[in-house]
């Protein structure tokens, strides 16, 4: 599903005219933060904009019962603002970033947000399911025609479709 491309370069990437966009999933995890930093660096180099997407939904019945949707949306917006500010500070990137909050199942929402994007960037986890897969990454791979880049914890870069530099 993924191939190692740490030493490769981007191929067939669009011109630096500012219209291309990179979509990155932001969950608040360390790996999603690393993916956001990576996307900001690439966007800065290529003249693209970044759509930072946080997908929220009540995780448990208790969330559904005890938290109203307005509070969950507010928490998602707050998480995204903090993640973007932190990634900008870490990278110094001046790329245009659009914060996008969606509700619903994560993989379909990310795939929908990445429709017509140049790349969908996801943070990968070192600990994976027993079958060796990353649940969200695997679902996006199945549903999306957009090239997917997975930036794992350890800093290696794995990619499907596109060969992308660090």
Domain boundaries, the chain: 3-160
- CATH H superfamily, domain 3-160: HUPs (3.40.50.620)
DSSP code at position 15: P
Question: 92 by DSSP, 3-state: which?
Answer: coil
Question: Which residue from 42, 37, 154, 32 is spatially nearest to 89, judged by alpha carbons?
Answer: 37
Q: What is the pLDDT, as a whole number, of residue 152?
A: 78
Residuewise pLDDT in 10s, the chain (166 residues) = 222 233 233 444 554 555 799 999 999 889 999 999 999 999 999 999 999 999 987 665 555 566 677 787 888 899 999 999 999 999 999 899 999 999 888 888 898 999 889 999 998 865 554 444 467 766 666 667 788 888 877 545 555 444 444 4
Return the axis-axis angle of helices 69-91 and 30-46, rounded to nearest 10°: 60
pLDDT at 147: 84
Q: Among residues 146, 127, 138, which one has the least CA distance to residue 21?
A: 146
pTM for this predicted structure: 0.75
Task: At 99, list the tokens.
Answer: 């914060």
pLDDT (0 to 100) of residue 105: 86
Q: Are 100 and 84 in contact (CB under 8 A)?
A: no
């Amino acid at each position: 599903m993924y191939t190692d491309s740490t030493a490769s370069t981007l191929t067939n990437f669009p011109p630096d005219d500012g219209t291309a966009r990179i979509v990155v999933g932001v969950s608040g995890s360390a790996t999603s933060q690393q993916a956001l930093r990576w996307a900001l660096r690439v966007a800065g180099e290529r003249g693209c904009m970044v759509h930072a997407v946080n997908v929220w939904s009540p995780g448990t019945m208790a969330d559904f019962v005890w938290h109203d949707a307005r509070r969950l949306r507010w928490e998602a917006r707050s998480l995204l603002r903090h993640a973007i500010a932190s990634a900008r500070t870490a990278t110094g990137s001046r790329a245009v970033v659009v914060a996008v909050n969606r509700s619903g199942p994560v993989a379909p929402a990310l795939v929908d947000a990445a429709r017509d994007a140049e790349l969908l960037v996801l943070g990968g986890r070192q600990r994976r399911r027993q079958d060796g897969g990353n649940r969200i990454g695997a679902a996006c791979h199945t549903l999306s025609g957009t090239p997917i880049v997975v930036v794992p914890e350890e800093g290696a870069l794995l990619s499907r479709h596109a060969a992308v530099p660090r």
